[in-house]
A and B are shown apart, each in its own frame.
Chain A
Amino acid sequence: AQSVTQLGSHVSVSEGALVLLRCNYSSSVPPYLFWYVQYPNQGLQLLLKYTTGATLVKGINGFEAEFKKSETSFHLTKPSAHMSDAAEYFCAVSQNTGTASKLTFGTGTRLQVTL
């Protein structure tokens, strides 16, 4: 069984400020971890993913996340927020089975960026 918890359904930051979106997971097997972004009325776009290897992963648009096994966390960060970052962000986990497996999503965090 696997689950994802995203703390904070709504996060507001000023333009240029640090973005931190929290994600904790539970998984009975080594996980694959993902962050997706969704703009209104659109599908999901992959920001970054962790499968194996380096625990600090860099993604698109300046985002990065660090897999911390001891804390079962995969928080998403960006040093400096931009207005275009305003969107819904979903953390997701799947099982590291090497084949197609279900994604379990968190409830999402809406990021608001203010001037």
Chain B
Amino acid sequence: GAVVSQHPSWVICKSGTSVKIECRSLDFQATTMFWYRQFPKQSLMLMATSNEGSKATYEQGVEKDKFLINHASLTLSTLTVTSAHPEDSSFYICSASEASGRNPGEQYFGPGTRLTVT
């Protein structure tokens, strides 16, 4: 149980284009989803927290107009990287926490999406 999927697993796009990454909780409802960014050989950096039906809360230094997050349902959150540039190339990972509260504090992680901007 508690499986989170991400799509696509990898994507290459040209500079200036936008890319959408989906994060789905497959077998549970997620009131809260988190988006992380990870540079090579570094730790995960939290970008934003999204709650179903409300606006995402962005961490300091993260451009909300560049990284658009939508959490329209209890099983789906999307991250859109707008007008992507090579410096946006990174590994993006989402996670979700259960609405039921069965495992408080625990987040279930997706497999990640490798974005390369050329």
Determine the chain A residues whose CB is within 8 A of the CB of B114 once the complex forms.
41
6 closest residue pairs by CB, A with B: A32-B105, A100-B32, A100-B97, A44-B109, A43-B109, A43-B111
16 A/B residue pairs, CB under 8 Å, sorted by A: A32-B106, A42-B111, A43-B110, A44-B44, A90-B43, A90-B44, A95-B105, A99-B101, A99-B104, A100-B49, A100-B105, A100-B107, A102-B46, A103-B34, A103-B107, A105-B43
Binds B, one of A17-25, A45-53, A64-72, A77-85: A45-53
Residues of B within 8 A of A (CB): 4, 6, 31-32, 34, 41-44, 46, 49, 91, 93, 95, 97, 101, 104-112, 114
Residues of A within 8 A of B (CB): 32, 34, 36, 41-46, 49, 51, 90, 94-103, 105-108, 110
How many pairs, one residue from A and one from B, have CB atoms within 8 Å of each other in the complex?
Answer: 63
Determine the chain B residues whose CB is within 8 A of the CB of A49 once the complex forms.
105-106
Determine the chain A residues whose CB is within 8 A of the CB of B6 once the complex forms.
43
Given A90-B43, A107-B42, answer yes or no on A102-B49 (Cβ-Cβ < 8 Å).
yes
Question: Whole-angstrom distance between the alpha carbons of A43 and B4 in the complex?
Answer: 10
Q: Which residue of B has the minimal Cβ distance to A108? A: B43
Determine the chain B residues whose CB is within 8 A of the CB of A46 once the complex forms.
106, 108
Determine the chain A residues whose CB is within 8 A of the CB of B42 once the complex forms.
107-108
Given A107-B43, A108-B42, A108-B43, answer yes or no on A45-B105 (Cβ-Cβ < 8 Å).
no
Given contacts A32-B104, A49-B106, A51-B104, 5 further A-B contacts (CB under 8 A): A45-B109, A97-B104, A100-B31, A103-B107, A110-B41
> Is B101 in contact with A43, judged by CB distance below 8 angstroms?
no
Residue among B97, B105, B109 making CB contact with A36, cutoff 8 Å: B109
Determine the chain B residues whose CB is within 8 A of the CB of A34 once the complex forms.
106
- Interchain nearest-CB distance for B74 vs A (Å): 13
Question: Whole-angstrom distance between the alpha carbons of A88 and B31 in the complex?
Answer: 29
> Is A42 in contact with B43, judged by CB distance below 8 angstroms?
no
Q: Which residue of B has the minimal Cβ distance to A34? A: B106
Q: Which residue of A has the minimal Cβ distance to B31? A: A100
